[in-house]
Structure 1
């Protein structure tokens, strides 16, 4: 691990500690938008998070200066699984470090699969999220709602949030995604080459793995004509050896015009 990376991690941990001289109560509120039941039997709902002026919260990959959000659906009734749609986030510069998230408000659409079709869903969610202004503060929030099966009218707020998701590879005309892995002292180095039109200068690539025990550093991103090149390092949080499944890698390109969601890469 480089000194810069280690310093970034230490600063992020320090920022997560609330200052005892200030009160951060009620800076964030959350509610469930009950949504509607879809023709395929799934229920589309959402969690709406609102923050006081000047505060922000984080995307699923928050950057070194952020706190990754966690969601727990235990205690819900008639719920099989939940898929979250993440709207395109903003990129913030925080004390010289990059963080990725949302200011003021974010609506997270939830595609909920009931265990029993045509029956209500008793929805419970426990949110563990970070909120930041001058420092970052962890917040625990619990929300509940009853999701009836007979409501079919779409909520325009949820529909608008779904439309704000990053474009798919097909929609963004991504031609090819390759990646080259090589060993380092602490883990692996990855160079991803994404053949795609520009998403708008500046472009930022975020790389994620399907293994929550593997930490991925912020990527250095550059353009080589029609190819976006992103380079970074990965390491196991426990210092253990690990393997990377290329099909489980995820690349999100955030540009000034649009964002693009790319799943998997081939050997390059």
Structure 2
């Protein structure tokens, strides 16, 4: 599929970086130790799948009044990041994010979770049949009256083979957004046009109403590209979402429509749309 490429100048690069920095909520200089009890972490061992993978999960339990962020956290959020470089006998990890909630604070929107969230992980071993050391650092944001970056260290041996599904993981998998087929998506198109500092994307998704106030989130599928909060509206059977995109270093970037991911968060259910066409 054809790609659309945009180049920005050095001057535009500085403006792009400034925009990325202002998109993240400013945090005070506070000692990490004061917030050690904000998040409690538990690894759920899960069970072995017939294809040799392990289906495990991480449970994050948040103190009352605190929230953390989804993979695409919105302008006021801090994106979570897992560092798997010190894991052992782990070839690949695929995360499944349950449907998040939309929060508005001080006029800014963020997308994430309160109370607790269970994040399923499909883990592929490098050497099948051998124990796997799940060793990672999770860098995340947590927010209450203040928003702070937070780190969680995880170091667990996955060595208890089991074929019985774990209820908490099953429930988390059932709480993911609907697929395009489940939500009866009829079409998904994306129009791209150059802007002064990057690119504008207008996504149109034709599907039944998902309930309440619908919020669309656009992920371009390109590392280092910042995407603004989408302006979302509905015209008849179609949700229209418009976002601005720019690269953090101000350089060239390409958008492949097949990699674009559009999530529509409705009052009744959410929908995960993978890829769009030129229309």
Alpha-carbon distance in 2 for matches of 1:23, 1:11? 25
- Indicate whether 1:231 and 2:254 are aligned: no
Give the corresponding residue for 1:192.
Answer: 203
Match among 152, 156, 161 for residue 141 of structure 1: 152
Counterparts of residues 163-202 of structure 1 (less than 5 Å):
163-202=174-213
Displacement after TM superposition at 1:104 (Å):
1.3
Give the corresponding residue for 2:122.
Answer: 111
Give the corresponding residue for 1:249.
Answer: 260
- Indicate whether 1:69 and 2:41 are aligned: no
Q: Rate the CA distance shift 1:213–1:7 in 2: closer, same or farther, 3 A.
A: closer
Alpha-carbon distance in 2 for matches of 1:229, 1:25? 41
How many residues end up aligned between the 2 structures?
265
Tell me the SS of whatever aligns to 1:169: coil
1:228-264 deviation digits (Å, cap 9, x = unpaired): 1111111111112322111111000000000000111
Structure with the larger RCO, 1 or 2 (CA within 8 Å, 6+ apart): 2
Give the corresponding residue for 1:99.
Answer: 110
Moved more, 113-122 or 131-140: 113-122
The TM-score, its normalising length taken from structure 2, stands at 0.90
Give the corresponding residue for 2:277.
Answer: 266
Q: Rate the CA distance shift 1:216–1:30 in 2: closer, same or farther, 3 A.
A: same
Moved more, 43-52 or 73-82: 73-82
Tell me the SS of whatever aligns to 1:267: coil
Tell me the SS of whatever aligns to 1:86: coil
Q: Is the 8 A contact 2:80 2:139 kept in 1?
A: yes
Q: Rate the CA distance shift 1:18–1:157 in 2: closer, same or farther, 3 A.
A: farther
Q: Rate the CA distance shift 1:180–1:11 in 2: closer, same or farther, 3 A.
A: closer
Give the corresponding residue for 2:214.
Answer: 203
Displacement after TM superposition at 1:122 (Å):
1.5
Displacement after TM superposition at 1:13 (Å):
3.9
Match among 10, 21, 45 for residue 56 of structure 2: 45
In structure 2, the gaps of 5 or more residues are 1-11
Tell me the SS of whatever aligns to 1:266: coil
Q: Rate the CA distance shift 1:181–1:7 in 2: closer, same or farther, 3 A.
A: closer
Displacement after TM superposition at 1:72 (Å):
1.0
Give the corresponding residue for 2:227.
Answer: 216
Alpha-carbon distance in 1 for matches of 2:70, 2:107? 19
